[in-house]
Amino acid sequence: MQVTFFGVRGSTPCHGDSVARYGGNTSCVAVHVPGQGPLFFDLGTGARDLGAGQPQDGSFRGTCLLSHLHWDHTQGLPFFSPLHAEGAELDVYAPAQDDGRTVAEVIGQVIRPPLFPIVVDQLPGKVRFHDTADSEFMIGNVKVMARMVPHVGPTLGYRLEWQGHSVAYLSDHQQPHDGSFSVSEGARELAEGVDLLIHDSQYTSHEFATKNTWGHCTIDYAMWVAEHCHVRTLALFHHDPTRTDAMLDEVRESAVVKGESAGFAVLTAFEGLTVDVG
């Protein structure tokens, strides 16, 4: 199982010398499993680079597990170039909404004129949306667990298992508003004992103090979840757009030491990073 990061940034893409090493694209992470089509988390702006390496001739077949519908996780959809060819097919699993609308309806109200030149159905490739709640299902040989997790609006985290190896993805995860450390039952089920936990790490404690209802968590909270849920490796992810490369280097240095003493490894996710799981 190979995990490759195409977009690691939260909230909005960013650009410039100060963020060039970790990268400025928003959430998109591919999971490669031998013998089956591409499987990936989220359609942030990183999806453009993921798409560029996929078949462009209409033969593309793949699956996206979408955490939620915020812009930074969906903006890359129309720029995913395999869909620019007739015959391509993309299945998108996404959290069922709580206002009576289907995911396809919500996306259709955002990706449309005058906000965007075309609607999704005008892409030559076919996109199928699957409204998803807490569930388990198979994508090829990969077992998928989906659980609603605390954020702002309906949001899914995912756990993938393949041949005894496991990856969990909790890109946007609301820490308790008072800054304390506890985890929902669903989030714990996703993360418990995984080989690789890809987890929100948007804020410092100082930033969280004024943004404690914005749907995210601190780096320290991500570390606590990793320790509490006995993960082998934590990938700090969904970096705040204000977090420079130099700041992320500092975050990594301190987190690696803390992780070592707590019994797990820590990575600070960057664009182009590939992790072999298992």
Indicate the residue among 88 and 225 with the shorter CB distance to Zn ion.
225
* Binding flags for Zn ion, 25-44, as an x/- string (CB under 5 A): --------------------
Return the range that interacts with Zn ion (CB under 5 A); candidates 54-62, 103-111, 121-129, 164-172. 164-172
Dihedral sign for Cα 17, 22, 24, 30, please.
positive
Q: What is the 3-state secondary structure (H, E, C) of 229-257?
A: CCCCEEEEECECCCCCHHHHHHHHHHHHH
Return the range that interacts with Zn ion (CB under 5 A); candidates 105-113, 127-135, 165-173, 183-191. 165-173
To Zn ion, the closest distance from the beta carbon of 264 in angstroms equals 24
Residue 9, interface with Zn ion (CB under 5 A)? Answer: no
Tell me the C-alpha distance between 44 and 134, whole Å.
23
Return the range that interacts with Zn ion (CB under 5 A); candidates 17-25, 71-79, 140-148, 179-187. 71-79
Spatial neighbors of 129 by CB under 8 A, at least 6 apart, are 92, 94, 102, 103, 104, 107
Q: 7: closest CA among 32, 28, 21, 38?
A: 28
Residue 240, interface with Zn ion (CB under 5 A)? Answer: no
To Zn ion, the closest distance from the beta carbon of 274 in angstroms equals 22
For Zn ion, which residue has the nearest CB?
A: 70
To Zn ion, the closest distance from the beta carbon of 132 in angstroms equals 16
Q: Which helix (H) or strand (E) holds 265?
A: strand 265-268
Residue 70, interface with Zn ion (CB under 5 A)? Answer: yes
Residue 172, interface with Zn ion (CB under 5 A)? Answer: yes
Residue 220, interface with Zn ion (CB under 5 A)? Answer: no
Per-residue burial over 75-108, b = 16 or more CB atoms within 10 Å of its CB, e = otherwise = bbbbebbbbbbeebbbbbbbbbbeeeeebbebbe
Count of residues touching Zn ion (by CB under 5 A):
4
Indicate the residue among 27 and 54 with the shorter CB distance to Zn ion.
27
Q: 238's torsion region: left (phi>0), alpha (psi -120 to 50) or beta?
A: left
Return the range that interacts with Zn ion (CB under 5 A); candidates 57-65, 69-77, 90-98, 158-166. 69-77
Q: What is the DSSP letter of 98?
A: S
Tell me the C-alpha distance between 39 and 158, whole Å.
12
Given candidates 72, 161, 220, 240, which one binds Zn ion under the rule CB under 5 A?
72
Site residues (CB under 5 A) for Zn ion?
A: 10, 70, 72, 172
